[in-house]
Amino acid sequence: MVSRFRRELKAPRVPFLAGQMGRWPERPWNAAKEKVDAAHRRLPEAVDHTGFVSARGLKHKGDKVHFDSGSYRELGRRFAAGYRKLVAAATSSNGGHDAPT
């Protein structure tokens, strides 16, 4: 999926972040969701210029599916931090030049 996304953008090194699905004690994950989560977590080890954004500690909006508004804002901050980390790593490995696209 990441390769296709980058190919269609004609940007082979564009940063890509995978966000974790919401996980609530009141609605445990089944084996399929555990497997998807494991794949998301392995992404940075398997594909260059990618990251994983944890949803640990976030809350649902009462439906045990979607994050509440405060959690979406926090998730956005986590995505921003992950993006900055990827760009900084790409820039430092590129001799201080702009991050590759």
**pLDDT under 50 in the chain at which residues?**
none
pLDDT in tens, 1-17: 999 999 999 999 999 99
Here the tokens at position 72 are 């979406």
What is the C-alpha separation between 2 and 22, in angstroms, rounded?
A: 21
What ranges do the domains of the chain cover? Answer: 18-92
What pLDDT is recorded for position 95? 59
DSSP state, 50? Answer: E
CA 18 vs. chain centroid, Å, equals 2
Q: Among all chains, which residue has been given the structure tokens 């980390």?
A: 85
Here the tokens at position 30 are 């089944």
What pLDDT is recorded for position 96? 57
What pLDDT is recorded for position 91? 85
Q: Among all chains, which residue has been given the structure tokens 């990441």?
A: 2
| pTM > 0.75: yes or no | yes
